[in-house]
Each structure stands twice: as structure tokens, then as C-alpha cells.
Amino acid sequence: MRWRTEITWRDEVEQVFGSPIAGVRTLPGGDLSAIARVELEDGTHLVTKRGPLVGTEARMLEAMRLAGAQVARVEHLGGRLLCLAWEDASEPDADGWASLGAALRSIHGSTNSTYGWPEDYAFGDILIDNGPRETWPEFWAEARLLPQIPHMPGPLRPRIEALCKALPDRLPERPDAALLHGDLWGGNILFTERGAVMIDPACYYGHAEVDLAMLALFGTPEPSFADAYGPAEPDAKTRRPIYQLWPAMVHYRLHGDRYADMLERVLGEAGV
């Protein structure tokens, strides 16, 4: 009798790339998939991701690439295995920030007829509803903020509910449905010799200010970023905390009370 042997992800990598694996190092950030840096004996370096949604990630990367951004290069996609080219990154400088600004302006110029994305997604156990909505305030309330309220600290819940009710007066009804990275913070940007490379997307179509708000929540881009991206929309600063609330809520769910102060601050800045 011939016993069937299960093909492991290591076997798949070696078969696809034609070289044995010389080393594997687990990387942080595996909320959605197991991530590792893999070195092959022929000198190739890869990032491997294993999980149920790697195909969705690959399609998001391709959408951003087609829109003009530099993104992690897909080398192989199997059923539950995504292999990306390894990128050597360095500290950001003015040119790197400028390349990010230009790339972000490029993807935001790629628009859709509806808000959302053809597939739902997730951050760890947090499901992300990307179903289309008729208006942008509906999408931001129903697909982003309202589902997180039961997981927030009790005193904050009525404040978030009040903000959701006010969104038709606080957000534009139908801004351009721009292609968004969807999880844009410093950890998802690699500054390389070929410019800024975006990784780990959570793409959907929505108001372009969402990406800008999240980038500002976790850091301060250099002025060259804004120069390359272009002028902000009128009253963007008044909407920024409304858009920052979503990533603050996600981080609270993923990492706990150390993000409670951020939640309080963002809600206060949103005026609720």
C-alpha cells in the first residue's frame, strides 16, 4: 500500500522555486496569517504568508500595483500560501516620503462606482464587512463603526452611537470612491531603494481621507509627503478624527486597554 503524504508549505515553496529551504524566521504581525522570512539555498529571500485570506491579499496588492503604487511583489500564490519578494528597507527620508505621497495620490485616483470591495476581509478575528452601501456615511457607520460598538468600553458606546447618527451631517454623502490601502501606518510601508513600497493592504473603495487620517494617527509624515500628495480637501481636519476612530477601535479590540486613551482622545476630537 502506498501512503499519501501531505504536501507542506515548505514542500510547496521548494517545488515552486526549485531550491531547498536554508532557513526560516518567524516575523511579527501575524494577526491574519502566519508570516515568515524564508531563505532558499540559492540565495533567494521570500516572505511567506499562510492563511485563508492570502488570495484576497494578493488581489488587493495587484489592484494597487495596477493603480500605480509600488507594492510587495507576488512571487507565488497557492491555496493558502502567498510568497512575496523580500524587500530590504531603510529609514525613511524626504525622497521616500515623497514617493509614498505620489503613490498614494495615484491609487486614490483609481475610483469605483460603489463603496466597499468585492470580498470581505479581516484583522485577526475582527471581520471587515466590505459590502456596498448607497452612501458614504452609511458605509462608514454600518460597515466600520457600528459593528465594533459591543466590544468597546461601556461609557464610550453611547458616544459612538451618537456620532454614527450624526454622520450624514459630518461626512460627504458621495465622495469619490477611491481605492484605499485600508491599513496605512508606518509598519505597512517599506522605504527601499526603489522608493516607498506598501505592504499588508486591507483595500476597499472609500473616501481618500481615510488613508491620510490613519497615517496621521500613528505618526507624522515629512512635509515632502504632503507636497507630493497634493492639497487636502476643504475641512479635512474636521473629519480626520471620525476616520481615525475605526483604526483606534480595531487596535483596542486587538491589543486591549493600552488603546483606551487613544479612543477617548479621538472621540473628544470628533466632538462627542
Domain shared by 136 and 185, yes or no: yes
User: Of the candidates 98, 66, 96, 65, which has an alpha carbon nearest to the alpha carbon of residue 229?
Assistant: 98
What is the structure's pLDDT at 6? 64
User: Is 89 within 8 Å of 100 (Cβ atoms)?
Assistant: no
134: domain range? 106-270
User: Of the candidates 237, 254, 244, which has an alpha carbon nearest to the alpha carbon of residue 211?
Assistant: 244
What is the structure's pLDDT at 4? 45
Query: Residue 42 maps to which CATH number?
Result: 3.30.200.20
Q: Is residue 97 part of a domain?
A: no
Q: Is residue 1 part of a domain?
A: no
Residues facing residue 195 across a β-bridge: 192
The alpha helices in the chain, defined as continuous H runs, are: 9-17, 54-66, 94-108, 136-139, 157-170, 209-217, 223-229, 236-255, 260-270
Q: Is residue 66 part of a domain?
A: yes
**At 74, which helix (H) or strand (E)?**
strand 74-77
Last residue of a domain, one of 53, 86, 119: 86
Domain shared by 134 and 261, yes or no: yes
Q: Which entry of 11, 93, 183, 227 is annotated as an active-site residue? A: 183
Domain shared by 243 and 195, yes or no: yes
Calpha distance 47→240 (Å, rounded) = 33
Q: Is residue 91 part of a domain?
A: no
What is the structure's pLDDT at 134? 92
Contacts of 134 (CB under 8 A, 6+ apart): none
Domain shared by 180 and 137, yes or no: yes
Question: Would residue 169 show up in a list of annotated catalytic residues for this protein?
Answer: no
The SS3 call for residue 234 is coil
Q: Is residue 93 part of a domain?
A: no
Q: What is the full per-residue pLDDT of the chain (272 aa) written as tens digits?
A: 344 456 799 999 999 999 999 999 998 875 667 899 999 999 999 999 999 999 999 999 999 999 999 999 999 999 899 999 999 999 999 999 999 999 999 999 999 999 999 999 999 889 999 999 999 999 999 999 999 999 999 999 999 999 999 999 999 999 999 999 999 999 999 999 999 999 999 999 999 999 999 999 999 999 999 999 999 999 999 999 999 999 999 999 999 999 999 999 999 999 99
Q: Is residue 4 part of a domain?
A: no
Domain count, the chain: 2
The one-letter amino acid code at 2 reads R
What is the structure's pLDDT at 37? 96
Domain shared by 61 and 138, yes or no: no
Query: Residue 167 maps to which CATH number?
Result: 3.90.1200.10
